[in-house]
Amino acid sequence: MKNFIKIYSFMLAVVLIASACGEEFLEVAPKGTELEDNYYRNAEEAYAGLVAVYDNVGGVTGPYIDKFLATNAASDDCYAGGGNSSDITAIQVWNNYTLDPANGPQESLWSKGFSGIFRANVIISKLPDVPMDENLKARYMAEAKFLRAWFYFDLVRFFENVPLFEQPISTSEMYDVLQADPSEVYTFMEEELLAAIEHLPTSVPAETEGGRATQGAARALLGKVYLQQDKFSEAAAQLEQVNGAPGGTSQYGYQLLADFGDLWIFDNKHNSESIFEINHTGQSNWGDWGCTSCTEGNWLNIMLNPRGYNKIDPAAPDYNSGWSFNTVTESLEAAMQGDPRYDATIANLQALEDAGSVEYEKGYQNTGFFLEKFTSLTSDRNEGGVIEGNFDQNKYDIRLADTYLLEAEALVRGGGNSARAQALFDAVRARVGLGSVAVSLDAIKHERRMELAGEGHRWFDLVRWGDASSVLGGSGFEAGKHEVLPIPLLELENTALQQNAEYGGTL
**pLDDT digit string, tens, across residues 355-364:** 999 999 999 9
- Tell me how many domains the chain contains: 1
Is 18 within the bounds of a domain?
A: yes
The domain of 471 spans 1-65+105-207+466-507
Is 79 within the bounds of a domain?
A: no
Give the model's pLDDT for residue 18: 33
What's the rounded Cα separation, in Å, for the pair 328 and 73?
9
Is 39 within the bounds of a domain?
A: yes
**pLDDT digit string, tens, across residues 184-230:** 999 999 999 999 999 999 999 999 999 999 999 999 999 999 999 99
Is 495 within the bounds of a domain?
A: yes
Dihedral sign computed on CA atoms, order 238, 427, 271, 154: positive
| Residue 24 scores a pLDDT above 70 | no
Query: Binning pLDDT at 50, 70 and 90, where does residue 36 land?
Result: low
Query: Cα dist. 219→287, 301, 348, 396, 422 in Å?
Result: 34, 30, 37, 16, 22
| Residue 26 scores a pLDDT above 60 | no
Is 409 within the bounds of a domain?
A: no
Q: What is the CATH number of the domain that holds 51?
A: 1.25.40.890
Is 234 within the bounds of a domain?
A: no
What's the rounded Cα separation, in Å, for the pair 216 and 74?
29
**pLDDT digit string, tens, across residues 109-126:** 999 999 999 999 999 999
What's the rounded Cα separation, in Å, for the pair 460 and 456?
8
Is 252 within the bounds of a domain?
A: no
Is 187 within the bounds of a domain?
A: yes
Q: Provide the b/e sequence for 492-504 (b: ≥16 CB within 10 Å).
A: eeebebebbebbe
Q: Provide the b/e sequence for 395-408 (b: ≥16 CB within 10 Å).
A: bbbbbbbbbbbbbb
Alpha-helical segments (H) within 314-389: 330-335, 342-345, 349-354
The residue-averaged pLDDT of 426-437 equals: 98
What's the rounded Cα separation, in Å, for the pair 84 and 146?
39
Query: Binning pLDDT at 50, 70 and 90, where does residue 19 land?
Result: very low
Alpha-helical segments (H) within 127-197: 134-159, 171-174, 182-197
| Residue 43 scores a pLDDT above 90 | yes
State the pairing for strand pair 274-278/346-348: unpaired
| Residue 178 scores a pLDDT above 50 | yes
